[in-house]
Amino acid sequence: MRIGVFICHCGSNIGGTVDCKSVAEESYAFPDVVFSTDTMYACSEPGQQGIIDAIKEHNLSGVVVASCTPRMHEPTFRRAVERAGLNRYMFEMANIREHVSWIGKNKDANTNKAAELVRMAVSKLRLNRDLHSKSFPVTKRVLVIGGGVAGIQAALDCADAGLDVVLVEREPSIGGKMSKLDKTFPTVDCSSCILGPRMVDVAQHPNITLYAAAEVESVSGYVGNFEVTVRKKATYVDWDKCTGCGLCTEKCPSKKSFDRFNEGVGPTTAIIIPFPQAIPKKASITRDACRQFTKGKCGVCAKICPTGAINYEQQDELVSMKVGGIVAATGYDLMDWTVYEEYGAGRYPDVITSLQYERLLSASGPTGGHVKRPSDGKEPKNVVFIQCVGSRDVSIGRPYCSGFCCMYTAKQAILTKDHIPDSQSFVFYMDIRSPGKGYDEFTRRVQEEYGAQYIRGRVSLIYPKGDKLIVRGVDTLMGGQQVDVEADLVVLAVGGEATQGSPQLAEKLRISYDSYGFFMEGHPKLKPVETNTAGVFLAGSCQGLKDIPSSVAQGSAAAAKAIGLLSKDMLASDPQIAQVDMKRCVGCGKCIQVCPFKAIKEVDVRGQIKAEVIETVCQGCGLCNATCPQGAVQLSHFTDNQILAEVEALCRF
Amino acid sequence: MSAVSLGYYPGCSGLGTSLEYDASTRAVCRALGITLQDIPDWTCCGSTPAHTVDHVLSSALAARNFAQAETAGIDDVITPCPSCLKNLRNALEHMEDDLFRARVDALTERPLTRPHTVKSVLQVLVEDIGLDAIKEKVTRPLTGMKVVPYYGCLMTRPASTMRFDSPEYPMSMDNLLAALGAEVLPFPLKVECCGASFGIPKKEAVTRLSGKLLDLAAGLGAHAVVVACPLCQMNLDLRQEQINAANNTHHALPVPYFTQLVGYALGVPEKELGFDKLIMPLAPAFTAMQEACAKATAVAEKKPAAGKTEATAGGAA
């Protein structure tokens, strides 16, 4: 074998703490290496051309590039060696940037370690074989999980591009958090007026199938051909018959049910249509609140329904489908702010969340848009807003900024003045974070034109005194002076967290999530809507909290990725998969048990049970390889011999 | 409840300004079957005057007391005073660091040989004895007495050191007083600052901060503010006249220690509970309690009749 080695300086990224030239010289001593050089940027156009020229000039049969992580540029270099006529798998990469130059300052030690990593790569490359992909057809259908504004955007863009779309929403209506908002910043235009038409588009689009009150039960398969099962939860109303007339919601005698859509501001009935613009506009029964279920008799809705749609016997239903790509757009929830004992931990009715305040402001909310405080229904005059409740607080394990609270608090202070002209708003803040088009101007307007008093400081205590709430904070711009504000209503700008069930869904989708439950993008800068699982994309706050414009942009971006993927008729499979040596296999089935992708099946070979890998399903994780007691399963490109050759290269002393 | 034997550290105030806290603690423990063994020749816990100057000195003072406890075979100590508790705990925590411990040992020349624990009297009553056991022994319930529990800043804080109840909204004393039969009013300022030792250098701080506490307690209709800290008690009780003068108020709120009320409810003779040591007399609280009780009985006597009418009406309908 004739191996060429290229040591990349990556400018000063590697060259600063690794003597690349001497690594290149040392590499000449490694077995089968016939050419070695250092290069300023191996990934650049001239860098790649240098590799191609060397392959031709020195008749190389394999190439090692020592540079950055393979996550970054392995595909780049594989294409380069392919252009020079080699098989793309006759290439190995040694990571001397993330694993060497960025983590150590001792140049001698770094240079030594870099050379050892190159030696490992050379040892492995000597055992590499040509590998070839197979191609398989794709299913031109996209699953969008979550019908908030991000999911709606992704679904509409995919559908407009001609793809079939299945949109799955957990709640009985799509719309997400945006549908609960009264107005949006910084334009102060009506949220449901701009979202409503898009929701109707979803309902009417011939390419979109909508499953509301449904959740993803299981996902199997692989990019281009996922098998998805959706659980349609029992709503006890036959939605094919329901016309959304709302008679049942008027007559329902159980009127004390928790109103999820209105964030518990005021009660609702046991059978509900969540809000006037709901899509689908269908009724559903909250089982725990319904007298038919809790007391065994009532049946008022069944009697009143003109179409006979009520069905107390309805069961959950499972629907299976095949999709080529998946967009996760599951959004966020407000964190449980009652951990804050100093804010009353929920003991005081007039301390409410920002989302509850949106429902109080909204004309379609339970108070008809009149701001009435929960305790006694009085109109508040002094309204105190507290920012960063559950954001940027290490003490409760939430160090991140939720990103949108500064802006919506400014908006709510403006709306407060609009609704109650003789009111005064006070905003306790840490910093005003308002990067975005027209955002900073907006936060100035609320102070300069609407007279909201912004106080830079935290609140240490809220306590009731008579029918007022005393909000005690500090004004850090007034030399740390203590400030007591007598408030009629306190609105907490509660930060967001990954929506309930995010980790569980991530595991179904086999994508990564961070310690807060937010889904991990493929690369924080260059792959913002991809995941590390091929064919699964992200949109909106499930990836990290963001406001409406950013969520919509990500929805479109994820759609573009899905459309791009499914624009092909055939996809190439990855040949780095498991292979069973039939002669060694004893048919014990251990590999079948450990395979997380159900990619191994039993086959009968002349009366003997053997394992067989389903090539398009295998993801090349190597669990079967490590489990097989016979060493019969080998992972192509990562065989036992290749790994051992690397170990041997490292342990040669 | 089996017999419990614990080391006892009264703290300096227990011999001076809070004689009644010390006396009632001893009486309550006797009544509950807890044997207290005084740490022989105990000295300063190393609190404020020491720890504002030198942490090693402060911990050495505390460590001396544990060394004294060891001579009497005591490992587990309780103290009524939250400030003593904080300092004794702090010392034990700091001494987990070997270097720090070596510096303390160099001062005391008496290295500790055994591990020690220290708890507040409140924590022992609520967690180790238990509310149910206490409730069983109540012979004079406080039914009708409206109380607000005031924990002070130190009883549950710093949370990492005290490791007891909530640092922002504790409930242990609330629950204990409720177990005695008292009507416990939710007191939102239960861990707020009373002004502490600012009474000496800057009295205005105490009259303002403690004034706020008394205003709220009176506003809620409390008959008494129940405390667990000698310094809080002094500010609220001894200085109540000063507070009234400074704020133009007319409070006359008794400020008993929780142990005094526990003792009363358990039937301990008043003599042993030091009621006479309180500046604001406790008697009005008991009077109010009895009046409330009498009223409740009167209403209750009327009620069965009313209930009957209702039942008849219901039956007729």
> What's the CATH code of the domain at B9?
1.20.1050.140
Q: How far is A341 from chain B (nearest CA, A)?
A: 5
Instruction: Establish if B186 touches chain A: CB-CB under 8 angstroms.
Output: yes
* Same domain, residue pair B82 and B179: no
What is the average per-residue pLDDT within A295-307?
95
d(CA B109, CA B39): 19
Chain segment B6-26, per-residue pLDDT in tens? 999 999 999 999 999 999 999
Confidence band for A618, pLDDT divided at 50, 70 and 90: confident
Q: What are the φ and ψ backbone dihedral angles of B14, each rounded to 5 degrees? A: -60, -25
The pTM of the full predicted model, rounded to 2 decimals, is: 0.85
| Alpha-helical regions (H) of A232-325 | 247-251, 291-294, 300-304
DSSP letter assigned to residue A379: P
Instruction: Tell me the chain A residues in contact with residue B191 when contact means C-beta distances shorter than 8 Å.
Output: none
Please give the average per-residue pLDDT across B173-194, as a whole number.
96
Q: Are residues B242 and B150 in the same domain?
A: yes
Nearest to B189 among A340, A341, A463 (CB): A463
* pLDDT greater than 80 at residue A653: no
Indicate whether B183 and B256 sit together in one domain.
yes
Q: Is the CB of A345 less than 8 angstroms away from the CB of B167?
A: no
Omega of the bond leading into B141 within 30 degrees of 0 (cis): no
Q: Which of B167, B168, B188 sits opposite A464 (nearest CB)?
A: B188
Q: Do B269 and B158 share a domain, yes or no?
A: yes
The alpha carbon of residue A463 is apart from the nearest alpha carbon of chain B, in Å, by 6
Q: Are residues B184 and B286 in the same domain?
A: yes
pLDDT surpassing 90 at residue A58: yes
In sequence order, the 6+-apart residues with CB closer than 8 A to the CB of B229 are B81, B82, B83, B151, B152, B154, B155
For helices B258-265 and B172-179, the axis angle rounded to 10 degrees is 20
- Within this chain, do residues B186 and B89 fall inside the same structural domain, yes or no? no
Written as six digits, the tokens of B251 are 């409070």
Copy the structure tokens of residue B17: 């300004």
The fraction of chain A above a pLDDT of 70, given in percent, is 100
Structural domain containing residue B113: 4-122
- The nearest alpha carbon in chain A to B192 belongs to A461
| CB-CB neighbors (< 8 A) of A341 in chain B | 166-169
Give the amino acid at A406. C
Q: Domain holding B274: CATH number?
A: 3.40.50.11810
Res B1: pLDDT: 42
Same domain, B201 and B252: yes
- Closest-CA distance of chain B to residue A485, Å: 15
* Chosen domain end from B79, B95, B122: B122
- Look at residue B286 and tell me if it is in a domain: yes
Task: Note whether residue B33 is domain-resident.
Answer: yes
- The CA distances from residue A313 to A285, A319, A336, B193, B215, in Å, are 12, 19, 35, 59, 59
Same-domain check for residues B147 and B263: yes
SS (H, E, C) chain B: CCCEEEEECCCHHHHCCCHHHHHHHHHHHHHCCEEEEECCCCCCCCCHHHHCCCHHHHHHHHHHHHHHHHHCCCCEEEECCHHHHHHHHHHHHHCCCHHHHHHHHHHHCCCCCCCCEEEEHHHHHHHHHCHHHHHHHCCCCCCCCEEEEECCCCCCCCHHHHCCCCCCCCCHHHHHHHHCCCEECCCCCCCCCCCHHHHCCCHHHHHHHHHHHHHHHHHCCCCEEEECCHHHHHHHHHCHHHHHHHHCCCCCCCCCEHHHHHHHHCCCCHHHHCHHHCCCCCHHHHHHHHHHHHHHHHHHHHHHHHHHHHHHHHHHC
pLDDT digits (tens, 9 = 90+) for A393-441: 999 999 999 999 999 999 999 999 999 999 999 999 999 999 999 999 9
B85 within a domain of the structure (yes/no): yes
Is B307 within a domain?
Answer: no
Interface check for B168 against chain A (CB to CB < 8 A): the answer is yes
Q: Which of A341, A465, A466 is nearest residue B168 as measured by Cβ atoms? A: A341
Does residue B315 sit within a domain? no
Residues of A in contact with B186 (CB under 8 A): 347
pLDDT of res. B317: 36
Q: Is the pLDDT of residue B133 over 80?
A: yes
- As a whole number, mean pLDDT of residues A583-589 equals 94
Residue B8 domain flag: yes
> What is the least distance, in Å, from the CA of A467 to any CA of chain B?
12
Q: Are both B151 and B116 inside the same structural domain?
A: no
Cα A471 → chain centroid: 37
* C-alpha pair distances (Å), B71 with each of A363, A590, B95, B116: 75, 64, 19, 13
Residues B209-230 have pLDDT tens digits of: 999 999 999 999 999 999 999 9
One domain, residues B61 and B187: no
CB contact under 8 A, B186 and A466: no
Q: Which residue has the tokens 């046991």?
A: A270
Q: What is the mean pLDDT of residues A183-206?
A: 96
Q: Classify residue B59: in a domain, yes or no.
A: yes
- What pLDDT shows up at residue B278? 96
- Indicate whether B150 and B176 sit together in one domain: yes
Partner-chain contact B167 A466, CB within 8 Å: no
Q: Do B168 and A464 lie within an 8 Å CB cutoff?
A: no
Residue to mutate among B151, B169, B191, B215, with most A CBs inside 10 A, is: B169
Q: Check if the beta carbon of residue A144 is closer than 8 Å to that of residue A56.
A: no
Q: What is the pLDDT of residue A71?
A: 84
Taking all residues of chain B, what is their mean pLDDT, rounded to a whole number? Answer: 92
Tens digits of per-residue pLDDT, A338-347?
999 999 999 9
Between A and B, how many residue pairs show a Cβ–Cβ distance under 8 A?
20
Number of domains in chain B: 2
- Domains belonging to chain A, first-starting first, are 3-125 (3.40.50), 141-233+316-331+499-566 (3.50.50.60), 247-304 (no CATH), 333-497 (3.50.50.60), 578-636 (3.30.70.20)
Identify all chain B residues contacting A465, using CB atoms and an 8 Å cutoff: 216, 219
Residue B309 has pLDDT above 60, yes or no: no
Q: Is B220 on the interface with A (CB under 8 A)?
A: no
Cα–Cα distance for residue pair A66/A9, rounded to 1 Å? 9
Query: Is residue B56 located within the same domain as residue B80?
Result: yes
Contacts of A377 (CB under 8 A, 6+ apart): none
How much is the pLDDT for B313? 41
List the single residue in A341, A464, A466 with the smallest CB-CB distance to B169: A341
Q: What is the mean pLDDT of residues B120-137?
A: 96
Alpha-carbon separation of residue A203 from A68, A273, B95, B107 (angstroms): 47, 16, 68, 80
Distance of alpha carbon A474 from alpha carbon A428, whole angstroms: 9
In this structure, is residue B130 part of a structural domain?
no
